[in-house]
Amino acid sequence: MTTTRLYYADSYTTTFDAHLIERATYGNAPAVVLDRTYFYPTSGGQPHDTGALNDVPVVDVVIRPDDGAVLHVVAGEVSGETVSGQIDWTRRFDHMRHHTGQHILSQAFVRLARAETVGFHLSPDSVTIDLSRAVKPATIDAAEDLANQVVAENRPVRAWFPTADELSSLQLRKVPEVDGKLRIVAINDFDVTACGGTHVAHTGEVGVIKVLRVDRRGDTVRVEFRCGARALLDYRQKNALMNQLAAELTTGIEDIPAALQRLRDENKALRRDLRALQSTMIEYEAGSLWQAADRAGGYALIAQVFEHDDAGRVRQLVQDLIARPGTIAVCGIAGEKAQFIAARSDDLPHDMVAVLKRGLAVWGVDRGGGRPSFAQGGGAAATPDDVRAALAAAIEAIRLQDG
């Protein structure tokens, strides 16, 4: 014996009594079959209802493929042979509004862009339809206007199982591939389609229909939209966000894009100024390091310890130093990922890769390399004392190479 699906004829009843005719399981959860139910099982892109049976929460509702029975998956044992059902109306009504809103919007896209709806998805987070072809932004707006006009006209919505004769006289927007009798949902003089979902009785109940975004997905186009309370919530959140942005930018909402552009331009100019200042500072620092260099070997030798410095900046500093003839620079940056740089000007013969390896050996590291004139490595943690020890070893290696 399968379940009589009372929601087909009546989407509004939320409390009912029924006989429990089978106790089953679904996955590892207990489930019950009733002789009749108003609970909507997940199908046709619409999620299941929630609620309670004898005060035990109903957490899922599915159709059993074998016999079409409606399985109410429950959070505990449902005792007794007669049960009292209670459906969560907020969730059900939200589904009714969105499913009816979907029919209206789908028909609007057919009329204005000959775009068929090839997919429908309804979840607590998003509601989407997939259209068979791309639609221009102006057409999206026009479809939205037409849909909201149909809502404002408060047209009756009728759902029924027509006879074969009646069915053949109907112009259906979409004919699904299902066995058995087709259920028809008609929005007066606007849309006729086959659908098994729950819908409102008059289009006015849908409330505002708002398209949020349109995304190309290969050959189809995904249209995300919201109806009624969800659309209001979205508007409320976005309005609060816009007001907050306007307040933070001390401007009007319509001037936010211009204010952001000004900030972007300002940021770009500041970065440019900062880069110029950093270059000047590096030149100055290089000049003073070079002045104070050890010249005992007949060349200027700079050995320097840095702490928590930027490797890119130190690299630039070293490059600035070795641009001067007769110069060798060995620098270490202490930190979690310490770096070591060994470099010389082009006029000197020293092999700085060998010097680098000698310095890194003090840290027990062999990640590093480069050219004879410029070598860099590191990656392990090193304290300033570790850096000083590595510099001492590197200077020793340089002196050994002196001609």
Does position 195 interact with Zn ion (CB under 5 A)? The reply is yes
Does position 197 interact with Zn ion (CB under 5 A)? The reply is yes
CB of 250 to Zn ion, least distance (A): 47
CB of 99 to Zn ion, least distance (A): 4
Distance (Å, rounded) from C-alpha 182 to C-alpha 10?
A: 17
Structure tokens at 33: 């079959």
CB of 44 to Zn ion, least distance (A): 7
Does position 34 interact with Zn ion (CB under 5 A)? The reply is no
Select 204 or 298, whichever has its Cβ closest to Zn ion: 204
Distance (Å, rounded) from C-alpha 115 to C-alpha 136?
A: 11
Structure tokens at 40: 């909507």
CB of 112 to Zn ion, least distance (A): 20
Q: Answer for the pair 315, 341: CB distance below 8 angstroms, yes or no.
A: yes
Q: Which stretch binds Zn ion (CB under 5 A): 47-55, 134-142, 163-171, 197-205?
A: 197-205
Q: Answer for the pair 40, 63: CB distance below 8 angstroms, yes or no.
A: no
Residue 24 pairs in a beta bridge with: 31
CB of 29 to Zn ion, least distance (A): 28
- Say if strands 15-26 and 117-122 run parallel, antiparallel, or are unpaired: unpaired
Distance (Å, rounded) from C-alpha 306 to C-alpha 316?
A: 14
Select 197 or 359, whichever has its Cβ closest to Zn ion: 197
Alpha-carbon torsion 361, 395, 327, 276, what sign? Answer: positive
CA-based nearest residue to 353, from 392, 401, 316: 401
Q: Which stretch binds Zn ion (CB under 5 A): 196-204, 275-283, 352-360, 390-398?
A: 196-204
Give Cα 239 to chain centroid, integer Å: 21
Residues 323-362, one symbol each (x = binds Zn ion by CB under 5 A, - = not), give: ----------------------------------------
Q: How many CA atoms lie within 13 A of 351 on its CB side?
A: 8
Site for Zn ion (CB under 5 A): how many residues?
Answer: 3
Does position 99 interact with Zn ion (CB under 5 A)? The reply is yes
Select 47 or 197, whichever has its Cβ closest to Zn ion: 197
CA-based nearest residue to 52, from 16, 28, 9, 25: 16
Select 195 or 355, whichever has its Cβ closest to Zn ion: 195
CA-based nearest residue to 345, from 374, 382, 370: 374
Q: Which stretch binds Zn ion (CB under 5 A): 48-56, 187-195, 239-247, 280-288?
A: 187-195
Residue whose Cβ sits closest to Zn ion: 195
Structure tokens at 292: 């104070």
Select 197 or 332, whichever has its Cβ closest to Zn ion: 197
User: Residues of 221-242 as b/e, b for ≥16 C-beta within 10 angstroms?
Assistant: bbbebbbbebbeeeeeeeeeee
Select 111 or 173, whichever has its Cβ closest to Zn ion: 173
Select 195 or 391, whichever has its Cβ closest to Zn ion: 195
Please give the residues from 205 up to 264 whose contact with Zn ion meets the rule CB under 5 A: none
Q: Which stretch binds Zn ion (CB under 5 A): 195-203, 267-275, 301-309, 366-374?
A: 195-203
Q: Answer for the pair 331, 355: CB distance below 8 angstroms, yes or no.
A: no
Does position 97 interact with Zn ion (CB under 5 A)? The reply is no
Q: From the CB of residue 79, how many other CB atoms can be counted at a distance below 10 Å?
A: 9
CB of 200 to Zn ion, least distance (A): 10
Select 24 or 201, whichever has its Cβ closest to Zn ion: 201
Select 129 or 397, whichever has its Cβ closest to Zn ion: 129
CB of 224 to Zn ion, least distance (A): 18
Q: Which stretch binds Zn ion (CB under 5 A): 148-156, 193-201, 295-303, 346-354?
A: 193-201
**In terms of C-beta density within 10 A (0-12 exposed, 13-18 middle, 19 or more buried), how is residue 173 classed?**
middle
Distance (Å, rounded) from C-alpha 129 to C-alpha 141?
A: 16
Chain positions contacting Zn ion, by CB under 5 A: 99, 195, 197
